[in-house]
A = this chain, B = another copy of it.
Amino acid sequence: MASQKKNAFYAQSGGVTAVINASACGVIETARSHRDRIGKVYAGHNGILGALHEELIDTGKETAATIAALRHTPSGAFGSCRYKLKGLEQNRAEYERLIEVFRAHDIGYFFYNGGGDSADTCLKVSQLSAKLGYPITAIHIPKTVDNDLPFTDTCPGFGSVAKYVAISTREASLDVASMCQSSTKVFILEVMGRHAGWIAAAGGLAASAAGDPPHIILFPEVPFDRAAFLARVDATVKKEGYCVIVASEGTQTADGQFLADAGSVDAFGHKQLGGVAPTLAQMVKDELGYKYHWALADYLQRAARHIASATDVAQAYAVGRAAVEFALAGKNATMVTIERGQGAKYRWSIGEAPLAKVANVERKMPKSFISRDGFGITQACRDYLQPLIAGEDYPPYKNGIPQYARLKKVMAAKKLPPFTPVK
């Protein structure tokens, strides 16, 4: 390296969460405590796009109080993006542009905060050093409500969604229970989780005794069987008086057909889903005639910082801090992980995994986490999930509303001509 002290680039990628800013807070506060090694921390405006377009937010212009407030602020304070770098061979111009920007701003550390797709991007950036001769240290900071990254016990962002879904399921269930005698008998909550049922599983934490709602959970991992589903709904209504269902947006039939397919596709080529709940509701109405209600929480679930899991917040901060410490320790092409300790009492610590093994690998729910009938979670699943939603971490309020950080977002002066993306 030309000098010991380098600037850092931090960016948020993909769908945001209630706690990704807690990771940003961990990165920035830790970098600030190592001013001898790390100069400025630039945050990409709208993720990696900020690097390509040389839109670098100078986090040094934000006060310590503002940075601290990121810990309790949901969503991506610097802007996120859905943009996946192609391979070096397919789009060399993008990588050359990144190097140009990094060199112009003396950036030696690359911290990328995202899920599986961004792990892949982070890996590619880590290879710039070898392939294009630009020295950079790239560390991936895990984030995804989908909880589908491998090697880490959990993904920051998931615990808070899990808590939101568990609480919402419990609350809505009480509502249905009080209405079911003369009105609504079936309630369906549709939750996120495209290919993995982790979030739907969290709805199961609403139950604490046999017969407690939710009575049915629909996982992407379990092929949807219309007849079995309707039979279970009917039996539950007849026995309990009502039936509460938590359905993953990824619920699909044995031949891989999503139950409700909105038909559009996001920037990563993933199908955009939505509408499982109304589809199920119509099915219940048509076949069983029960009055229904349904809810689709969508962004509310992943933005619900007001009821974030304290465990999740602590872990999100810790992986941000660890990313900086890893970089300073000379690690590269590494993802920070969360490791669960042995024993009945929940303990966690920070670990690491090589990005080459992480990128584009999706972790599904273990079969042992889904009950034999396919409609619920097992004790093993409860044991796994329970600690992740533990503790409340309330944001400060003013006038009845949480006070979330507002950044100044001062951009570093541009030094380069505009970037024209190559198609």
| Distance A392 CA – B399 CA, assembled complex (angstroms) | 10
Minimum Cβ distance to chain B for residue A390 (Å): 5
Some 27 contacts from A to B, beta carbons below 8 A apart, are A16-B179, A73-B174, A74-B171, A82-B182, A82-B183, A83-B182, A166-B400, A167-B401, A170-B401, A170-B402, A171-B303, A171-B306, A172-B303, A182-B267, A183-B267, A205-B401, A208-B399, A264-B291, A293-B299, A294-B298, A295-B298, A295-B299, A295-B300, A297-B297, A300-B300, A306-B307, A392-B394
Closest B residue to A188 by CB, please name it.
Answer: B298
Asked if A351 lies at the interface with its beta carbon under 8 angstroms from chain B, I say no
Inter-chain contact A16/B295, CB cutoff 8 Å: no
**Which residues of chain B are near A181, meaning CB under 8 Å?**
46, 49, 79, 81
Q: From residue 12 to 52 of chain A, which have CB atoms closer than 8 A to chain B?
A: 12, 15-16, 18, 46-47, 49
**Which residues of chain B are near A15, meaning CB under 8 Å?**
179
**Which residues of chain B are near A206, meaning CB under 8 Å?**
401
Q: From residue 276 to 299 of chain A, which have CB atoms closer than 8 A to chain B?
A: 278, 285, 291, 293-299
Asked if A76 lies at the interface with its beta carbon under 8 angstroms from chain B, I say yes
Scan A387-415; emit 1 where CB is below 8 A from any B CB, else 0: 00111101001011110100000000000
Asked if A305 lies at the interface with its beta carbon under 8 angstroms from chain B, I say yes
**Which residues of chain B are near A379, meaning CB under 8 Å?**
none
Closest B residue to A80 by CB, please name it.
Answer: B178
Inter-chain contact B394/A183, CB cutoff 8 Å: no
Other-chain contact of A400, B267, B295, B309 (Cβ < 8 Å): B309
Closest B residue to A387 by CB, please name it.
Answer: B400
Asked if A323 lies at the interface with its beta carbon under 8 angstroms from chain B, I say no
Whether A297 contacts B300 in the complex (CB less than 8 A), given A275-B278, A400-B166, A400-B205, comes out as yes
Asked if A194 lies at the interface with its beta carbon under 8 angstroms from chain B, I say no
| Distance A303 CA – B166 CA, assembled complex (angstroms) | 13
Inter-chain contact A174/B74, CB cutoff 8 Å: yes
| Distance A386 CA – B15 CA, assembled complex (angstroms) | 31
The bracket for how many chain A residues form the interface is 35 or more
| Distance A279 CA – B325 CA, assembled complex (angstroms) | 49
Other-chain contact of A178, B79, B171, B274, B400 (Cβ < 8 Å): B79
Other-chain contact of A389, B47, B80, B391, B401 (Cβ < 8 Å): B401
**Which residues of chain B are near A81, meaning CB under 8 Å?**
179, 181-183
Asked if A137 lies at the interface with its beta carbon under 8 angstroms from chain B, I say no
| Distance A12 CA – B167 CA, assembled complex (angstroms) | 23
**Which residues of chain B are near A303, meaning CB under 8 Å?**
168, 171-172, 174-175
Inter-chain contact B182/A299, CB cutoff 8 Å: no
| Distance A285 CA – B274 CA, assembled complex (angstroms) | 14
**Which residues of chain B are near A294, meaning CB under 8 Å?**
274, 296, 298
| Distance A189 CA – B300 CA, assembled complex (angstroms) | 9
Inter-chain contact A300/B400, CB cutoff 8 Å: no
